[in-house]
Amino acid sequence: MKQIRKKGLSIFIIFSLLVAMTAHVPFTFANESTLLLNTSFEETEAPKSGWDQLGAAKWSVWKPTGSPVVSIAKDASRTGEYGLKITAAQSARAAVSQDVPVQGGKTYQLSTWLKTENIVSGQGARMRVVLYEGTQQLGLLYSSRLTGTNDWSQIKMEVKTPANADSIRVQLFFETGTGTVLFDDVSLQLIQPATSIVIEESETTIKEQETASLHVKMDPADASSKISWESADQTIATVSNGTVTGVKAGETTIMAFTDNGLYATSTVKIIKNDAIERPEATELDLQPKELQLESGQVRLLQAIIAPANADAEKLVWRSSNEAVASVRKGLLEAKSSGTAVITVETEDGRLKSESQITVTDAVQDEYDQLRKKRESLMTGLDSYDPSNERMNEMIESQTKSAEALWKTMFKNNDRSFLWFDFASTDDSADIRDSYRNLTIMAKAFANKHSSLYRNPQLLKDISEALEWLYQNRYNENIAQYSNWWHWEIGVPNELNSLMVLLYDYLDQEKVHRYLNVVDHFQPDPTKSGATTPEKYREALGANRIDVSKVVGVRGVIVKDAGKIAAARDALSQTFENVTEGDGFYEDGSFVQHGNIAYNGSYGIVLIEGLTDMFELLSNSTWKVTDPKVTNVYDWIENAYEPFMYKGALMDMVRGRAISRDFLQDHQAGHTIIKSVIRMAQFAPEPYAEKYKSMAKYWMQEDSYLDYFQNAGNFRDITLAKQLLENQAVTPRGDLDFHKTFASMDRVIHSKPGYAFGISMYSNRIQNYEDMNDENRKGWYTGEGMTYLYNADLAQYSDDFWPTVDSYRMPGTTVDTMRRADGSGEHRSSEAWTGGSTLKNFGTAGMSYDAWNSSLIAKKSWFMFDNEIVALGAGISSNEERNVETIVENRKIRNDGSNELVINGEKMDFSSGVQNHSVDAKWAFLEGNVSGADIGYFFPEGKSLNIKKEERSGAWKDINYGGPAEQIKRFYTTIWFDHGIRPNDDTYSYVLLPGQNQEQTSQYSQKPDIQILRNDPSVQAVHDVMENIIGANFWKDEKQTAGPLTVYQKASVTMQEKDGVLEIAVSDPTMENKGYIEIEIDGKAFKVLEADENITVENTKPSIKLKVNVSEAKGKTFTAKLKMIPSQKGNSPNSIR
Catalytic positions: 593, 602, 656
For residues 812-837, b (16+ Cβ closer than 10 Å) or e, as one string?
bbbbbbebbbbbbbeebebbbbbbbb
Between CA 101 and CA 103, with CA 102 as vertex, the angle to 5 degrees is 140
Burial class (CB in 10 A: 0-12, 13-18, 19+), 802: buried
Is 250:233 a contact under the CB 8 Å cutoff? yes
- By the 10 Å C-beta count (0-12 exposed, 13-18 middle, 19+ buried), 465 is classed as buried
Rounded-to-integer distance, Cα 75 and Cα 54, Å? 13
Cβ-contact 247, 254 below 8 angstroms: no
Task: Please report how many Cα atoms fall inside a 13 Å half-sphere around the Cα of residue 272, on the Cβ side.
Answer: 7
**How many whole angstroms separate alpha carbon 145 and alpha carbon 859?**
46
Nearest to 1077 by CA among 1105, 1110, 1053, 1055: 1105
How many CA within 13 A on the CB side of residue 1035?
11
CB 403 within 8 Å of CB 452: yes
User: With 0-12 CB in 10 A as exposed, 13-18 as middle and 19+ as buried, what is 32?
Assistant: middle
DSSP, collapsed to helix, strand or coil, labels residue 255 as: strand
Pairing of strands 590-592, 583-584: antiparallel
CB atoms within 10 A of CB 100: 21
Q: Is the peptide bond before 1101 cis (omega within 30 degrees of 0)?
A: yes
In 543-627, which ranges are E strands?
583-584, 590-592, 596-597
- CB within 8 Å of 337: residues ≥ 6 apart: 295, 324, 359, 360, 361
Q: Are strands 167-191 and 107-121 parallel, antiparallel or unpaired?
A: antiparallel
* Measured CA distances, 834 to 845, 991, 1079, 1095 (Å): 6, 20, 21, 22
Rounded to whole angstroms, how far apart are CA atoms 606 and 46?
Answer: 59
Task: Give CA–CA dist 694/269, Å, rounded.
Answer: 52
373 alpha carbon, distance to own chain's centre: 29
**φ and ψ at residue 367, rounded to 5 degrees:** -65, -45
Contact between 158 and 109 (Cβ < 8 Å): yes
Q: At residue 531, what are phi and psi to the nearest 5 degrees?
A: -100, 5
Please name the residues in contact with 945: beta carbons below 8 A apart, sequence gap of 6 or more. 884, 915, 916, 917, 974, 975, 976, 977
C-alpha neighbours within 13 Å on the C-beta side of residue 877: 27
Nearest to 299 by CA among 322, 319, 326, 272: 326
Which residue type occupies 379? T
CB distance 836 to 1051 below 8 Å: yes
Residue 1069 CA to residue 1046 CA, distance in Å, equals 15
Give 535's DSSP letter: G
> Running DSSP on this structure, what letter comes out for residue 195?
S
| Burial class of 1133 by CB neighbour count within 10 A (0 to 12, 13 to 18, 19+) | middle
